[in-house]
């Protein structure tokens, strides 16, 4: 591996680029966009739908990851922020004809606002107490559409006018592009956020808020901001989901969604942005695979019906047991092991991208 490193002609200039996080992250983002453009053009329309879904799941999980990894707070209510983003964007799309970016931004702003409001009392709460409050939030937000039925059309939800793509592009592919573009932008922004002075300060607060206070930081303000940023990402994910599903209904934002996001984050690797993608892949593909298997089984028994969730549950347990730092942590550990014992295998495996600084402790490499 190190051979490649030295022979790579641009290695020196790359080295220089890296010292400027914004430029570096943008460059990686542009490269990723190019790769993903090629990907979306070569797969089926249905796969594009799935790619879009993975993208908005990844955005939501990345937001949660920044909160948990960055400031050590746990939220069981990110589904609620997604709901607020989705309703915000959905209502704008329902009532006004605006360029797509406006409703999405409105959704983000609404979620960020709620994030700030929730973040304020949350500054005093730790661990499970914060989880309890955010859980209550997730439930409450789910009941609001029926309470204010004339605005939100209750349980049936509001129908979103899906934007017509320009130039006869297939709508599913168009959605995949929008979602991926949003996802890449989010990753770049969040990576910079965590790398910035602010991100480092946040970690200082997480690790020891008294020491951080002594160093002149205001832990409460940082926690609120972390909450707002995290909620904004969830709001973006919600807006994209509204666009993706064509409907915003409370049934899409059950407590189970919030729990899934948390599970997805930890499965992928808490505190890492790449891990968010692994988590999103797991959330989308595991039910998918098990469902395609079971729907072709001839007998529609209770066993086959429950197989899908059973496999998902087992997967969560197995990953947590086998890879305590999530998939990303496991890959990293594996990669490190390979570097220690250089072999021809090493060059065949592409190492995981590292856009973020990790908060998870390095996994012990016991045999």
Partner 1 sequence: MKDSIRSRGRPLAAAAVLSAAALASALLVIPSSGASLRPARTPGVTAHRIVLGTTTPLTGPAAPGYDEIAPAANAVFSYINAHGGVHGRKITYLIKNDQYDPTLTVQYTQQLVENDHIFADVGGLGTPTQTSVQSFLNKHHVPQVFVESGCACWSQPKKFPYTFGWQPNYIVEGKILGAYIKSHFGRKRIGYLYQDDEFGQDGVKGLNREIPHRRVVGEQNYQGTVQGLGAGLGSQVSALQSAGAQVVALYTIPAATALALLAAAQLNYHPIWVVSSVGADPPTLAGLLGAFSKGKAGASLLNGMITNAYLPPETAGTNPWNRLAKAILKRYDKGFHWDGNSEYGFALGVTTVEALEQAGRNLTVKSFLNALETHAKALSNPGLVPLIYSRSDHYGFSGSEVVKITHDGRAISVLTPREITTLRGPITVYRGKPDSIPAQFRK
Partner 2 sequence: MTLFIDLTLNGLSYGAIYAAVALGLVLIWRATRVINFAQGALATLTTYVAASLLDRSINSWVAFAAALVAGLVFGAVTERVFMRPLYGKPELNPVVVTIGLLILVESVAGAIWGSTDRGIAPPGGVSQSGIILGHTYLDFSAFDIFILGSVIVLMVLMLVLFRWTSLGLKMRASAFAPEVARLLGVRVGRILTVGWALATLAGALAGMLVAPLVFLSPNMMDPMLVYGFAAAVLGGLDSPVGALVGGILSGLGISYIGGYLGSSMETVGAALLLIAVLSIRPEGLFAAAKARRV
Q: Which residue has the tokens 């995981």?
A: 352
Task: Between 8 and 300, name the residue whose CB sits nearer to partner 2.
Answer: 300
Q: Which of 4, 8, 14, 140 binds partner 2 (CB under 8 A)?
A: 140
- Binds 3: which of partner 2, partner 1, none (CB < 5-8 Å by kind): none
Q: Check residue 307 for interaction with partner 2 (CB under 8 A).
A: yes
Decide if residue 305 touches partner 2 (CB under 8 A): yes
Give the one residue of 16, 147, 221, 339 binding partner 2; rule: CB under 8 A.
147
Residue-wise DSSP of 138-204: HHHHHHHHHHTHHHH-GGG-EEP-PPPPGGG--HHHHHHHHHHHHHHHHHHHHHHHHHSHHHHHHHH
Number of chain positions touching partner 2 (CB under 8 A): 49
If the CB atoms of residues 183 and 270 are measured against partner 2, the closer one turns out to be: 270
- Residue 327 CA to residue 88 CA, distance in Å, equals 33
Q: How far is the CB of 122 from partner 2 (least distance, A)?
A: 9
Map the footprint of partner 2 across residues 6-35, applying CB under 8 A. Answer: none
| 143 counts as binding partner 2 under rule CB under 8 A | yes
- Give the Cβ contact number of residue 37 at 10 Å: 14
Q: Choose the stretch contacting partner 2; rule: CB under 8 A; options: 33-41, 55-63, 184-192, 254-262.
A: 254-262
- Cβ atoms of residues 49 and 43 within 8 Å: no
Q: Is 175 left (phi over 0), alpha (psi -120 to 50) or beta?
A: alpha
189 vs 22, 62, 160, CA distance in Å? 9, 11, 28
Question: Can you give the binding site for partner 2, defined by CB under 8 A?
Answer: 68, 74, 121, 124-126, 128-129, 131-133, 135-137, 139-140, 142-144, 146-147, 210, 255, 259, 262-263, 266-267, 270, 302-303, 305-310, 312-317, 320-321, 324-325, 360-361
């Amino acid at each position: 591996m190190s051979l490649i490193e030295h022979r790579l002609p641009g290695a020196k200039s790359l080295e220089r680029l890296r010292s400027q996080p914004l430029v570096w992250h943008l460059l990686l983002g542009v490269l990723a966009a190019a790769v993903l453009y090629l990907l979306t053009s070569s797969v089926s329309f249905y796969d594009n739908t799935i790619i879009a879904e993975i993208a908005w799941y990844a955005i939501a999980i990345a937001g949660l990851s920044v909160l948990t990894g960055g400031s050590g707070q746990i939220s069981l209510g990110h589904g609620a922020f997604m709901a607020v983003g989705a309703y915000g964007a959905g209502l704008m799309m329902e009532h006004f004809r605006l360029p797509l970016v406006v409703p999405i931004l409105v959704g983000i702003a609404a979620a960020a606002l709620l994030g700030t409001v929730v973040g304020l009392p949350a500054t005093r709460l730790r661990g499970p107490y914060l989880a309890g409050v955010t859980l209550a939030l997730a439930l409450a937000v789910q009941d609001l559409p029926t309470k204010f039925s004339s605005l939100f059309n209750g349980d049936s939800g509001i129908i979103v006018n899906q934007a017509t793509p320009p130039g006869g592009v297939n709508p599913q592919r168009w959605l995949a592009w929008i979602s991926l573009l949003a996802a890449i932008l989010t990753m770049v922004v969040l990576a910079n956020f965590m790398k910035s002075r602010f991100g480092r300060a946040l970690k200082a607060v997480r690790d020891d808020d008294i020491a951080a206070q002594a160093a002149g930081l205001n832990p409460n303000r940082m926690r609120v901001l972390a909450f707002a940023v995290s909620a904004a990402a969830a709001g973006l994910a919600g807006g994209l989901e509204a666009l993706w599903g064509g409907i915003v209904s409370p049934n899409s934002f059950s407590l189970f969604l919030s729990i899934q996001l948390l599970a997805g984050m930890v499965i992928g690797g808490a505190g890492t942005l790449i891990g968010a993608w692994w988590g999103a892949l797991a959330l989308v593909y595991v039910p998918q695979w098990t469902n395609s298997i079971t729907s072709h089984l001839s007998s529609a028994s209770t066993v086959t019906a429950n197989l899908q969730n059973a496999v998902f549950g087992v997967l969560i347990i197995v990953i947590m047991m086998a890879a305590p730092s999530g998939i990303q942590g496991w890959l990293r550990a594996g990669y490190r092991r390979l570097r220690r014992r250089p072999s021809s295998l090493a060059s065949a495996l592409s190492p995981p991208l590292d856009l973020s600084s990790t908060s998870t402790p390095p996994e012990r490499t016991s045999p």
